[in-house]
């Protein structure tokens, strides 16, 4: 080997060893920093072999340092994560990014635990990945209580559906009976019972829809229809039932959509009823419709309480209600928008909101069209 090359290799080796020493120092600093944290922390080398675990890791998993050092986190695997999960995890971390999700793992005693799991690659000064750091935040208690809540909602929803449907049926029979007798007072009471029962049925259906969304079973029954016809009918129904606001329609669409008419109707009803509910002192709401690049775009504008910037995404999450509603007596459970977003998504459309607090909001959604 030429002397010049030998020199080059020597200097490279020296440089690498100084980088490694520096890295070792940095890692040691890191280890001591996470020694006392409440979340379980582990470090692996580039091959996924565990180099370090903190006391919280031992406490959570039941495995001692000795038992896990030199092994892969696989010994804690529950086998409940899909191959897809691992593929996504490795592609993300090898591209240099952090990966975060919820995992279910198994302790040494066989018990399962849920963890909010983040794994982050650690890079050398030259940008190459040398280690991975994993953090598991134990969320078992929260997850189990969520599961119990879901189960309760599901059972309650199914158990309530039959009796409430029967109440509606008997109420209708009574209405026919008192109509024949021309008893106006009884008819007035029965109409009220009917509209309250409708509210209850909607609530039960919404809760059951949330359950379907969770398990990916919200299905669509599609048909071809003129979007405008559906929209006009819904606006007319709202206008008939509301004296406080004028509902103005702007624009029109001649497009036919291949979509689930009832579900799209559900989205429109949710947006319009929210617009009415959250603008109690306004006199009008405006419903826009236009065609854009083979999409129908609908906008429902109100001049009401509006939404803070920080909450614009959160309001599409299940059971989220804006903080500004506290103590103001607006009824609701915070599930309608979540269902609407899911329905729009199932149709490959998009839903979004533009809003300013105290000025009002416009909720938009797009719906791709098939045929004119
Ligand atoms: P609900 O109205 O029953 O609470 P939604 O899921 O329909 O449930 O809406 C979620 C939340 O989004 C509401 O609680 C409210 O805080 C906010 N929101 C929805 N529509 C509007 C609107 N038009 N104006 C202001 N806030 C709104």
How much distance in Å is there from the Cα of 125 to the middle of ligand 1?
Answer: 48
pLDDT value of position 372 = 45
Question: Tell me, what's the pLDDT at 216?
Answer: 86
| Helix-helix angle 184-214:140-180, to 10 degrees | 150
Which of 86-100 are b and which e, b meaning 16 or more Cβ less than 10 Å from the residue's Cβ? eeebeebbeeeeebe
Residue with CA nearest ligand 1 atom 3: 332
10-residue mean pLDDT series, the chain (372 residues): 59 61 77 88 92 95 94 80 82 92 91 94 87 94 90 88 94 96 96 94 91 88 94 95 94 92 96 97 97 93 96 95 88 94 96 97 92 48
Q: Are strands 223-226 and 256-259 parallel, antiparallel or unpaired?
A: antiparallel
Architecture of domain 223-368: 2-Layer Sandwich (3.30)
**C-alpha 212 to ligand 1 mean position (Å):** 21
* Most ligand 1 atoms within 8 A of CB, residue of 238, 245, 278, 330 to mutate: 278
Whether the CB-CB separation of 356 and 309 falls below 8 Å is answered with no
Q: Which of 349, 197, 189, 207 is nearest to 267 (CA)?
A: 349
35-138: what CATH class? alpha beta
Q: Check residue 344 and give its pLDDT.
A: 97
Say how far apart CA 251 and CA 72 lie, in whole Å: 61
Domain range list for the chain: 35-138, 143-214, 223-368
């Amino acid at each position: 080997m030429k002397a010049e090359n030998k020199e080059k290799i020597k200097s490279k080796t020296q440089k690498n060893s100084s980088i490694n020493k520096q890295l070792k120092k940095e890692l040691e600093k890191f280890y001591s920093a996470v020694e006392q944290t409440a979340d379980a922390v582990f470090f692996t080398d580039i091959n996924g072999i565990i180099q370090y675990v903190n006391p919280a890791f031992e406490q959570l998993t039941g495995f001692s340092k000795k038992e896990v050092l030199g092994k892969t986190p696989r010994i804690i695997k529950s086998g409940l994560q899909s191959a897809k999960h691992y593929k996504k995890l490795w592609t993300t971390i090898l591209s240099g990014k952090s990966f975060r999700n919820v995992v279910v793992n198994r302790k040494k005693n066989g018990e399962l635990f849920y963890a909010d799991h983040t794994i982050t690659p650690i890079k050398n000064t030259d940008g190459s990945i040398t280690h991975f750091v994993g953090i598991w935040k134990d969320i078992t208690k929260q997850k189990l209580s969520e599961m119990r809540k879901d189960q309760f909602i599901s059972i309650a929803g199914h158990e309530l559906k039959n009796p409430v449907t029967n109440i509606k049926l008997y109420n209708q029979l009574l209405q026919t009976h008192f109509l024949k007798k021309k008893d106006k007072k009884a008819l007035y009471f029965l109409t009220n019972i009917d509209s309250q029962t409708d509210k209850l049925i909607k609530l039960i259906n919404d809760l059951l829809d949330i359950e379907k969304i969770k398990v990916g079973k919200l299905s669509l029954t599609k048909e071809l229809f003129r979007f405008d016809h559906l929209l006009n009918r819904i606006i007319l129904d709202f206008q008939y039932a509301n004296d406080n606001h004028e509902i103005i329609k702007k624009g029109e669409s001649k497009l036919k959509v291949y979509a689930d008419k009832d579900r799209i109707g559900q989205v429109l009803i949710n947006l319009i009823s929210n617009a009415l509910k959250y603008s109690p002192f306004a006199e009008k709401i405006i419903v826009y419709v236009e065609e854009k690049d083979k999409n129908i775009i609908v906008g429902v504008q109100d001049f009401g309480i509006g939404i803070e910037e920080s909450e614009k995404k959160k309001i599409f999450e299940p059971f989220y209600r804006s903080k500004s509603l506290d103590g103001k007596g607006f009824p609701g459970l915070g599930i309608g928008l979540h269902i609407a977003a899911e329905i729009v998504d199932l149709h490959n459309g998009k839903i979004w909101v533009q809003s300013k607090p105290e000025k009002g909001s416009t909720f938009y959604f797009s719906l791709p069209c098939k045929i004119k």
